[in-house]
């Protein structure tokens, strides 16, 4: 037997092989807000996909909690339809039947003690019938205002307390507060019932393969890290653009706005991954320590009237269809001041990044749906070239495409074929769909599995949430003043208000058009 063959057949080697899937142990997941779109389109399909991939235990339990007058069979039909419509993997009747045996439903309201007593009885029965072992995760897909009521009901019903060899975990959906003070109060309320190591704050962008690939790109390769600093990087752009409007979402979105909804969590987390130093290991504590250092060093650039932008979309044409403006969308007040576009400039005050602006933007009804991180490099001096040789050459850039076309693009200069020396931009492209035969799991698959495994690497903790609000609060306070710049309008299908272009062009830079 060769050495390499011996290595691959070594039981210790196999036990440590990171390519071997980690399968969740005995457990049950309770979903509050089970009748909402998130549950139907993302959570239920993700649970089925995990089961179909063999990553859930045979006796897994799924419990829905809602006000609907449903029996177990009614809820089972809802899950079945959601899986059929939205699951990523093909439908397998045998997998479905095994999953369906553990599906239960509890009718109730958040303020009703009896409902939570019934939930406790249901979970005890699952422990006995399905072997879920007292390991229960509670997914709060509900408005943040209901968090205190639910977590205190879980405590009162004995569902937050554990016996030896058991665990109880709570999963919280954003928004994590609406400012620093509310975030601290929310954290205090939740931590009074669940210790911080048992709290999992979902940021679904951190579950995306391309976001995790930022760490691989930076730290598994020697190619990029030597130039990943202010000596070579001119600026960084982080964009999350959506081409959809907000029809039907007024109840959630009005008064929150694009900046709180996306920049506070998704985009600042992406900034932390791009700017952080190499962690000692990818253990959760080491990874979080480096993110916290970066967020602690990050400040919003001033003056805010020049370094920030916000706007609200008006009606226009998009995708060949005429679409309404925000104020014509159902549920929004004609006087609504909610921004649907937000852009800010951040400074990372470390030796590596001093002087490099980080531009973050997000918006609805923009030119197209795309999320990307673009690291834009400084221009070369072009000393051996005539000005005409490089007049069509832009700046080198490395672009991580998070969605929808997941991959990485590198833009650099290349000679145009011919007798003259002429240099133009070209690209090299890596796409997940081209390079790997297996499709990427949905973000919620990875995150739900990590909850059941107790793997917290991809979940922001208290300090990360509070540091993000410390960065954002001064901007939100500035926008809230009576004498701040007016909320600008931008037409649907464009790339935001004029002030967004001004905030980059004032320093000779410009936004990418993905």
Which residues are the active-site residues? Answer: 266
User: Does the annotation flag 204 for ligand binding?
Assistant: yes
User: Does the annotation flag 67 for ligand binding?
Assistant: yes
∠ at Cα 107 (102, 113), nearest 5°? 115
Alpha helices per DSSP H over 371-513: 432-435, 443-453, 462-480, 498-505
Residue 423 backbone dihedrals phi, psi, to 5 degrees: -115, 130
Are 258 and 311 in contact by the 8 Å Cβ rule? The answer is: no
- Distance (Å, whole) CA 329 – CA 2: 68
- Distance (Å, whole) CA 416 – CA 513: 23
- Distance (Å, whole) CA 304 – CA 237: 18
Cα 178–chain centre separation: 17
User: Does the annotation flag 242 for ligand binding?
Assistant: yes
Are 448 and 50 in contact by the 8 Å Cβ rule? The answer is: yes
* Strand 370-377 with 321-323, pairing: unpaired
Are 47 and 55 in contact by the 8 Å Cβ rule? The answer is: no
- Distance (Å, whole) CA 468 – CA 380: 35
In eight-state DSSP terms, residue 494 is B
Are 263 and 344 in contact by the 8 Å Cβ rule? The answer is: yes
The half-sphere exposure of 124 on its side-chain side, counting CA atoms within 13 A, is 9
- Distance (Å, whole) CA 329 – CA 331: 6
- Distance (Å, whole) CA 290 – CA 83: 38
DSSP string, 213-265: HHHHHHHS-SSSGGG-STTTEEEEEEEEE-----TT-HHHHTTTHHIIIIIII
> Which residues face 318 on adjacent strands?
321
Are 301 and 218 in contact by the 8 Å Cβ rule? The answer is: no
User: Does the annotation flag 174 for ligand binding?
Assistant: yes
Residues found in the chain:
514
Cα 233–chain centre separation: 25
- Distance (Å, whole) CA 146 – CA 354: 42
Nearest CA-CA partner of 34 in 140, 128, 127:
140
Which segments are annotated as binding site for NADP(+)?
67, 174
Which segments are annotated as binding site?
67, 174, 204, 208, 242, 261, 364
Which segments are annotated as binding site for substrate?
204, 208, 242, 261, 364
């Amino acid at each position: 037997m060769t050495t390499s063959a011996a290595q691959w057949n070594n039981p210790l080697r196999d036990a440590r092989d990171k390519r071997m899937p980690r399968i969740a142990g005995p457990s049950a997941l309770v979903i509050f807000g089970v009748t909402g779109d998130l549950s139907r389109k993302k959570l239920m399909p993700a649970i089925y996909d995990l089961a179909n991939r063999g990553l859930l235990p045979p006796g897994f339990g799924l419990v829905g909690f809602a006000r609907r007058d449903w029996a177990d069979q009614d809820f089972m039909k809802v899950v079945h339809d959601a899986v059929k419509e939205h699951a990523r993997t093909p439908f397998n009747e045998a997998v479905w039947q095994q999953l369906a045996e553990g599906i239960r439903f509890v009718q109730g309201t958040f303020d009703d003690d009896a409902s939570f007593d019934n939930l406790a009885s249901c979970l005890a029965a699952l422990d006995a019938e399905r072997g879920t072992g007292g390991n229960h995760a509670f997914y709060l897909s509900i408005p943040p205002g209901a968090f205190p009521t639910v977590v205190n009901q879980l405590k009162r019903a004995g569902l937050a307390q554990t016996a030896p060899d058991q665990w109880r975990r709570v999963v919280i959906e954003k928004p994590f507060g609406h400012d620093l003070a509310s975030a601290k109060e929310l954290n205090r309320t939740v931590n009074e019932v669940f210790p911080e190591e048992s709290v999992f704050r979902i940021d679904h962008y951190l579950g995306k393969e391309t976001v995790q690939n930022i760490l691989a790109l930076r730290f598994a390769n020697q190619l990029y890290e030597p130039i990943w600093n202010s000596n070579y990087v001119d600026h960084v752009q982080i964009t999350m653009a959506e081409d959809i409007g907000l029809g039907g979402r007024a109840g959630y979105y009005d008064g929150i706005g694009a900046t709180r909804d996306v920049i506070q969590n998704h985009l600042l987390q992406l900034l932390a991954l791009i700017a952080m130093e190499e962690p000692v290991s990818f253990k959760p504590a080491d990874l979080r320590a480096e993110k916290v250092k970066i967020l602690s060093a990050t400040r919003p650039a001033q003056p805010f009237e020049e370094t920030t932008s916000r706007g609200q979309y008006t009606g226009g044409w998009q995708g060949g269809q005429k679409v309404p403006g925000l104020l014509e969308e159902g549920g929004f007040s004609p006087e609504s001041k909610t921004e649907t576009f937000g852009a800010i400039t951040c400074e990372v005050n470390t030796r590596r990044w001093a002087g490099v602006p980080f531009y973050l933007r997000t918006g609805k009804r923009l030119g197209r749906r795309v999320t990307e991180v673009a690291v834009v490099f400084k221009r070369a001096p072009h000393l051996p070239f005539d000005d005409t040789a490089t007049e069509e050459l832009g700046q080198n850039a490395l672009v991580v495409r998070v969605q929808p076309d997941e991959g990485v693009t590198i833009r650099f200069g290349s000679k145009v074929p011919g007798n003259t020396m002429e240099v133009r931009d070209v690209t090299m492209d890596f796409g997940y769909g081209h390079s790997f035969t297996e499709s990427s799991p949905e973000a919620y698959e990875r995150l739900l599995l990590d909850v059941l495994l107790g793997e917290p690497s991809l979940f922001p903790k208290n300090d990360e949430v509070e540091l993000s609000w410390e960065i954002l609060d001064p901007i939100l306070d500035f926008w809230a003043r009576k004498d701040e710049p007016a909320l600008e309008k931008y037409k649907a299908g464009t790339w935001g208000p004029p002030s967004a272009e001004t905030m980059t062009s004032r320093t000779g830079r410009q936004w990418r058009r993905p």
